[in-house]
Amino acid sequence: MKKSVLFVCLGNICRSPSAEAVFQGLVDREGLSDQFSIDSAGTSAYHAGEPADRRMQSHAVRRGINLTSISRGFNASSDFDEFDIIVAMDDSNFYNLQDVARTDEDQAKIVKMTDYCSRFNYDHVPDPYYGGAEGFELVLDLLEDACEGLLNELR
């Protein structure tokens, strides 16, 4: 059985598409591509249909990470059924997901990205949207750390 992982942030144009690409890259490198199904979504559908933020894309490309996913809103009536684990980037995303969970089983699928960090001591992946270059770099640093931990947990 494939393990399905959904990464969730607010807009699905910065943090969660990056998490999706970083995690997919790790999975591919480890030869585990056929064992995982990976996607991302936003608690808001405000940017639905858009590619990832240009700034996020350019920081990611410098690390060899291509952001190809197109933004979509989280869908409580299908995503809780389709995914085994739903990974929130910050507390706001986490509580928004909890609010729309239908059952205890749904609730149990929701986790926080930074809980899988081992090198960085952060309790959330900070929203880089209104900040500068260092915010985008921090997002990628945290995601590279957390995705390793998450893969070790799930493999």
Report d(CA 148, CA 131) in Å as an integer: 26
Residues assigned a catalytic role: 9, 15, 127
- Which phi and psi (to 5°) does residue 13 adopt? -125, -10
Site for ligand 4NP in 31-70 (CB under 6 A): 46
Buried b (16+ CB within 10 A) or exposed e, 124-154: bbebbbeeeeebbebbbbbbbbbbbbbbeeb
| Nearest CB to ligand 4NP, comparing residues 32 and 45 | 45
| Interacting span for ligand 4NP (CB under 6 A) from 5-13, 61-69, 96-104, 145-153 | 5-13
**Binder among 73, 129, 135, 148 for ligand 4NP (CB under 6 A):** 129
CB 146 within 8 A of CB 16: no
113: tokens are 């990205």
Which residues touch 149 (CB under 8 Å, ≥6 apart)?
116, 117, 118
Does 144 bind ligand 4NP (CB under 6 A)? Our answer is no
Q: What is the number of the residue whose Cβ is closest to ligand 4NP? A: 11
| Nearest CB to ligand 4NP, comparing residues 26 and 52 | 52
| Interacting span for ligand 4NP (CB under 6 A) from 6-14, 25-33, 114-122, 141-149 | 6-14
Binding site for ligand 4NP (CB under 6 A): 9-15, 46, 127, 129
